Amino acid sequence: MPEADFVIVGAGSAGCALAYRLSEDGKNSVIVIEYGGTDIGPFIQMPSALSFPMNMSLYDWGLSTEPEPHLGGRVLATPRGKVIGGSSSINGMVYVRGHARDFDHWAEEGAAGWAYANVLPYFKRMEHAHGGEEGWRGTDGPLHVRRGTRRNPLYQTFIEAGREAGFEVTDDYNGARQEGFGPMEQTIHQGRRWSAANAYLRPALKRPNVRLVNGLARRVVIENGRAVGVEIGARGPDQVVRARREVILAASSINSPKLLMLSGIGPAAHLRDRGIEVIADRPGVGRNLQDHLELYIQQESLQPVTLYSVLNPFSKARIGLQWLLFKSGLGATNHFEAAAFVRSRAGVDYPDIQYHFLPAAIRYDGKAAAKMHGFQAHVGPMRSKSRGAVTLRSPDPAAKAEIRFNYMSHPDDWSDFRHCIRLTRSIFGQKAFDPYRGRELSPGAHVQSDDQLDAFIREHVESAYHPCGTCRMGRVDDPASVVDPECRVIGVDGLRVADSSIFPRITNGNLNAPSIMTGEKAADHVLGRTPLPPSNLEPWINPRWQVSDR
């Protein structure tokens, strides 16, 4: 029977970081259980091929929501990585730490020791930033972070338009000042996707005390109130991977709560309904599900400077060949090279809207490209009040969980999105875009009234693929908490959860960076180490926040 000091379920963003740090001093043995296979090949490693892996059953779990009642019953895709590196191997490679106030809010909600001052040293420990604000960034960590070349003139045009509209400009949204328009950061290194597998898992697997075991985790084995291993199956006979010290779930915000429930940890009535013996009644397991939604606001370009020029088979082949031979050119970027974080109105103290800018009119999944030159902004609110849940469809571990985000269930979500659309139109209407601006492709200039905008939102809003919150971290005496501030599952010994499921509330921007940070910080808790000393750096808050949105 395979056995180790620590057994980690999931070789994703947090799990890879955990494997690297728990094995670093050579004193502890680590087994990582992962159902997915290798990430070798151009579909994952070539940054511009990002639309492929999340649509391939080889690399993606193929999850989707139940019909969403506030979106006309639409079923939305919920991609999660089924491959080493997890979702960091199929994501858009955008690197955003989150805003300082996000983590301060975590601490206020009961996640003591996870305020910004506490987590900033872990962000710095994990980073090897190529550029960025001195003193705020790490320069010798495993995770390489860079800016794109921004050779396309539309990137700077977008930033200049934000400045003309009166908004801040920031050179490093991962530094002191998140608020503003500026360059976007990428987890790309030497032309390749720099996933958690490349940054953390491969170096860890070179150590004699780390082992990767392939299999589907079916449940956590609990004896006398203590986790002692993980039952795995799917490829060969079921077996138990034993943990001498602890089991750590890092299986995603969908699969971590699912595994807890399959193991008898969760809302007691729901578990009994599914025929599962209750080990620990934790009503918060699977609850508090959150995500970011976004819209694509698309504009025709009057100048032939967009990526439409290279969407033909010949150009794609040439780009692919250049990448294969030299790891350079348009194949070596995710094309998200300009961004913005802004506030929606006066009285909001830190950004609550995010922009990704793209010099093409094309969907995230690569489908439905406009048949002309165009550009687009992905825009969405950061702090939706809507909450959903992950529940068990059946006690069969092979059955997919039921996922209900309850998207757009709060009335503020609708007014927030209408504001996002109108604000984007204002930015695209600035003087900087005059040489390029053609007609509005989406939603279209005819869509103006609140009712028309709501109909567009209902039909076209998409997930930004940032699910989190389903094993919420908080105070031990809070019944909604699943794990304590050291990531220990409340009510069971020897078991922790460390991934985006523990976030009390979703952070600003993309979730890969805070997920990796969670693995980094959790490793110190697991090892019983004193956390890194808190930072005394003070983040910038707009002095006009009470009177203006810019």
What tokens were used for 148?
Answer: 């794109």
Residue 22, annotated as binding a ligand: yes
Q: What is the torsional sign of CA 18, 254, 219, 113?
A: positive
- Strand 239-249 and strand 265-266: the pairing is unpaired
- Strand 239-249 and strand 3-9: the pairing is parallel
Residue 27, annotated as binding a ligand: yes
Residue 8, annotated as binding a ligand: yes
Residue 7, annotated as binding a ligand: yes
Residue 382, annotated as binding a ligand: no
What is the spatial distance between Cα 315 and Cα 190, in angstroms, rounded to a whole number?
Answer: 22
Residue 456, annotated as binding a ligand: no
Hey, which residues are catalytic here? 466
Residue 17, annotated as binding a ligand: yes
Residue 11, annotated as binding a ligand: yes
What is the spatial distance between Cα 443 and Cα 432, in angstroms, rounded to a whole number?
Answer: 21
Angle of CA points 447, 453, 454, to nearest 5°? 150
Residue 12, annotated as binding a ligand: yes
Determine contact, residues 333/48, Cβ cutoff 8 Å.
yes
Residue 195, annotated as binding a ligand: no
Residue 31, annotated as binding a ligand: yes
Residue 21, annotated as binding a ligand: yes
Residue 112, annotated as binding a ligand: no
Residue 26, annotated as binding a ligand: yes
Give the residues across from 379 on adjacent strands. Answer: 295, 355
What is the spatial distance between Cα 96 and Cα 466, in angstroms, rounded to a whole number?
Answer: 12
Determine contact, residues 520/126, Cβ cutoff 8 Å.
yes
What is the spatial distance between Cα 114 and Cα 505, in angstroms, rounded to a whole number?
Answer: 12
Nearest CA among 253, 266, 255 for reference residue 217: 255
What tokens were used for 109?
Answer: 């909600």
Residue 91, annotated as binding a ligand: yes
* All residues at 6 or more sequence positions from 336 whose CB lies less than 8 Å from its CB, including other chains: 92, 93, 94, 148, 184, 186, 356, 357, 358
SS3 49: helix
Residue 29, annotated as binding a ligand: yes
Residue 328, annotated as binding a ligand: no
Nearest CA among 357, 468, 356, 461 for reference residue 417: 461
Residue 83, annotated as binding a ligand: yes
What is the spatial distance between Cα 36 and Cα 86, in angstroms, rounded to a whole number?
Answer: 8
How far is CA 178 from each of CA 135, 156, 349, rounded to the nearest angstrom? 15, 18, 12
Residue 214, annotated as binding a ligand: no
Placement of tokens 């930072």 in the chain: 535
Strand order in the sheet with 127-130: 127-130, 143-147, 185-186
Residue 251, annotated as binding a ligand: no
Determine contact, residues 303/296, Cβ cutoff 8 Å.
no
Residue 18, annotated as binding a ligand: yes
CA 94 vs. chain centroid, Å, equals 9
Nearest CA among 489, 529, 535, 497 for reference residue 515: 497
- What backbone phi and psi angles, to 5 degrees, belong to 219? -170, 160
- Strand 353-358 and strand 180-183: the pairing is unpaired
SS3 61: coil
What is the spatial distance between Cα 486 and Cα 529, in angstroms, rounded to a whole number?
Answer: 11
What tokens were used for 57?
Answer: 């059953």
Residue 361: left if φ>0, alpha if ψ -120 to 50, beta else—which one? Answer: beta
Placement of tokens 């993980």 in the chain: 230
Binding residues for FAD: 5-34, 83, 91-94
Binding residues: 5-34, 83, 91-94
